[in-house]
Structure 1
């Protein structure tokens, strides 16, 4: 508990002891009794009275503080001292529960906020000096020691280490990093000392952008929150007017129309009870708290949602459109198959890697990466690069030709065509065909599961939009089980395709576009919901999308949808509970059956139940709805 909550707890304890003593232990009556009850009342309720008075002077009369003040002061004026103190006491207990629940939900955001670095180490005159990250300019060499946070985005110039990225991605597996690797702010250096050359100012770094979008997520309200705001605006004045009518009209009718005892005290008590029952605290507090909890729970799993309106839209998503490269695939070309003829796989790959060793083409890089050993340039000579065909070079004195089918035809060699989709590097050694190596953009491990999970959640259609060739796109779509594939598209064509899909969907159905955020910004903005692969810090992703998946895992989309549906389920439960109980108890209060104790349950009891229910939104299990 914080200091404020601790003080409130002590006020509750003192007021409770004094009230019990006055009711059952201290034998006082008359003025001393009234004074002691007033002391007890002021101990527990002085802040509510103060807020009510300030609200009147500030033009914000009709809020829960006003309702509580009128109801309890009225009860005290009518001599119902115990009930007046009890209503205020239980209301404050409810407020304490609410404060604790909000604090608990904020801890998830606070855990994310803990990635904010306090300082950056800059080497000056041979010594490390801690400076404010805001003061570090682009191009500065900063030092990050083991156990410290990386304060600013940059590139490692010296050292190797393992980085804990769990605060950003939700995943606990460390990431290895060395010289030349990009690192982003918010990661924790686990082992070796690193020297990093900053590539951004602190205000533009990943950690700043993430914290900014999380802190501002509450600004974008959902339809449910907007409804409650409008509801409370009209509901409270209507209830106050109804209570006033209940206090005045029945006694007047009894006295003048029926000629019987007006029973003013009885009807005023009913009106005050009516006010206590009507307080909309459960709705006003629990619904924003539910959305806050859902957003906080999602952030723990590396899913950053920019507002509760986007969290709500996820539950209504029926069409999910995917980009291919960098979204469903890794966006990095890798050797996926090696088919040698009369030689070993290792020799085929080694020959191709050496032949391509002087080229900077992405295919050449893929071959060298797959070979995985240091290349000895002395083994290679007479390199001839033939544009549009490939490379011919001597490796250990043997002529090696590595390239496409056109190169094999040029050399008048028969070759074998692969049965899989990808870029083919045919290899010939000393004029004889030696086999081929297949290079392809590898599908992410969780992409197939992501599509399967979305269909389980009731997504009507999954669509893939890509600029790749039809053969490649159809192969990926078929392997992943995507419903429709549209290929060979330019970035502008993707916007047109999404607009076409938006026109065809139902009015209440939502369409989400999932892209890598770098070249898909126009489409992310055009869709009902833009979901971006964060790429561990892609500026375009964080800026353009409504939701950012910080670890590039497409299976997190279904998890986000489950969080959304669970949160909305909790919101609906709280709305039904709060309004249902209030309608019943208001009716009972109006006819005199429900007394102040019923009123306390209808207000404080329902609020506590609703708030406790709202905290369930914080609990995120990977496979639960």
Structure 2
């Protein structure tokens, strides 16, 4: 449905061709009429039969159908080729704007990362890493919190409920439980401070579950969102294509944002932003653009919808993205792969290149044949080729936009 409705949103070059044909067609008809009437009246021995034939030849050559048909077809081909690659573009105008992208801004969770929390790091003190994970998984086993689920998944073994006693869940802090006769306290830094456990805080890029055994600090486990497999490659591809800036806007902590930005090779990260803050930051970035360059924002959540709508090009992750984000976006990546953003830009540039090839070829050849026909140096056969033949060649060239395998 999105692809079908895309035809109503024309690119600037399509609108130009429509406007051009509106002026061009009556102009060449007028020139052809003058060519048929004026020379026989002014030139000695000139006959109406010869000049009417030349005028008709001129009229056939000047027909703008090659441009009117092939240019929209190029964009339809680009939109179709993009959809084959799992990229839905909601209009030719967005495909054209993608080709001029110079700044790409990303959301983090669900866009560059999987949105699934896993245990990334275990820092044990006085006990082994395996023992710390085992005790923490048992301590958190009665909780349905996503962090607890990630701890149990990292442990990977069946939880023995017989080893667990005196479970107390402390809302907003963590849990207190007895495992194998040992008093286990697991939670955030506030829980450590509340229970009087001495520890030396580190700067942690992720959510940390601090653990104390019998009142003695035993270390922490870092729970973090995992980057998508192709996220780093996506940033690298964009930079190789000449994208000037790659940035990330996220509501996460500065430590988490810095780590993700460094791991993926982003130019700049802005952290601890509320949805309104993201819009304000985007406004500032839009003011930094140069010339006709565009800014693309990539997101997936309902909180990203205002930013997606404000950006020159809003790109939504459609696989797991919210309905609000998909509705607000101009381009939807159905496979949730960040690397498809580079593919979309390549498709847009190829499509725009094909459209300009058709314009150059059609206008160039027609101009030559028009001049020759005015001087009687062409026949109707050459005129037919300059009209229908050029149109067929331009249409066949437009079909190349459907081929996206080698991008």
TM over 0.5: yes
Which residue matches 1:227?
16
Aligned equivalents of 2:279, 2:45: Cα separation in 1: 75
Aligned equivalents of 2:226, 2:192: Cα separation in 1: 26
Q: Check the 8 A contact 1:541/1:548 in 2, yes or no.
A: no
Report whether the alignment pairs 1:613 with 2:397: yes
Q: Check the 8 A contact 1:383/1:394 in 2, yes or no.
A: yes
Which residue matches 1:236?
25
Higher relative CO (CA 8 A, sep ≥ 6), structure 1 or 2?
2
SS of aligned partner of 1:519: helix
SS of aligned partner of 2:302: coil
Which of 119, 129, 133 pairs up with 1:335? 119
Which residue matches 1:436?
220
Report the CA distance between 1:348 and its aligned residue: 2.6
Aligned equivalents of 1:407, 1:524: Cα separation in 2: 38
Q: Check the 8 A contact 2:206/2:255 in 1, yes or no.
A: no
Map 1:82-481 → 2, pairs under 5 A: 212-254=1-43, 260-341=44-125, 343-408=127-192, 415=199, 420-481=204-265
Q: Check the 8 A contact 1:273/1:596 in 2, yes or no.
A: yes
Q: Check the 8 A contact 1:416/1:435 in 2, yes or no.
A: no
Q: Aligned residue pairs: how many?
A: 407
Report the CA distance between 1:422 and its aligned residue: 1.5
Which residue matches 1:70?
none
CA deviation map 1:534-571 (0-9, x unaligned): 13463112210000111221111111000000000000
Aligned equivalents of 1:430, 1:526: Cα separation in 2: 53
Report whether the alignment pairs 1:542 with 2:326: yes
Aligned equivalents of 1:505, 1:433: Cα separation in 2: 51
Q: Check the 8 A contact 2:296/2:313 in 1, yes or no.
A: yes
Report the CA distance between 1:419 and its aligned residue: 6.6
Report the CA distance between 1:431 and its aligned residue: 4.8
Aligned equivalents of 2:276, 2:135: Cα separation in 1: 42
Q: Which has the larger radius of gyration?
A: 1
Q: Which is further off, 273-282 or 405-414?
A: 405-414
Q: Check the 8 A contact 2:250/2:270 in 1, yes or no.
A: yes
Cα distance change, pair 511–339 in 1 and its aligned pair in 2 (3 A): same
Aligned equivalents of 1:296, 1:582: Cα separation in 2: 29
Aligned equivalents of 1:589, 1:336: Cα separation in 2: 75
Report whether the alignment pairs 1:584 with 2:368: yes
Aligned equivalents of 2:332, 2:223: Cα separation in 1: 30
Cα distance change, pair 427–536 in 1 and its aligned pair in 2 (3 A): closer
Report the CA distance between 1:599 and its aligned residue: 0.8
Aligned equivalents of 1:607, 1:327: Cα separation in 2: 43
Q: Check the 8 A contact 1:333/1:366 in 2, yes or no.
A: yes
Q: Check the 8 A contact 1:537/1:550 in 2, yes or no.
A: no
Aligned equivalents of 1:487, 1:412: Cα separation in 2: 31
Aligned equivalents of 1:572, 1:336: Cα separation in 2: 50
Report the CA distance between 1:390 and its aligned residue: 2.3
SS of aligned partner of 1:612: helix
Aligned equivalents of 2:136, 2:144: Cα separation in 1: 14
Structure 2: runs of 5 or more not aligned? none
Report the CA distance between 1:516 and its aligned residue: 1.0
Report the CA distance between 1:435 and its aligned residue: 3.6
Aligned equivalents of 2:22, 2:159: Cα separation in 1: 73
Aligned equivalents of 1:361, 1:538: Cα separation in 2: 22
CA deviation map 1:498-523 (0-9, x unaligned): 11222232241111111114211111
Q: Which is further off, 506-515 or 343-352?
A: 343-352
* RMSD across aligned positions (CA): 2.1
SS of aligned partner of 2:103: strand
TM-score normalized by the length of structure 1? 0.62
Q: Which is further off, 574-583 or 364-373?
A: 364-373
Q: Check the 8 A contact 2:234/2:341 in 1, yes or no.
A: yes
SS of aligned partner of 1:553: coil
Aligned equivalents of 1:554, 1:522: Cα separation in 2: 20
Aligned equivalents of 2:296, 2:112: Cα separation in 1: 15
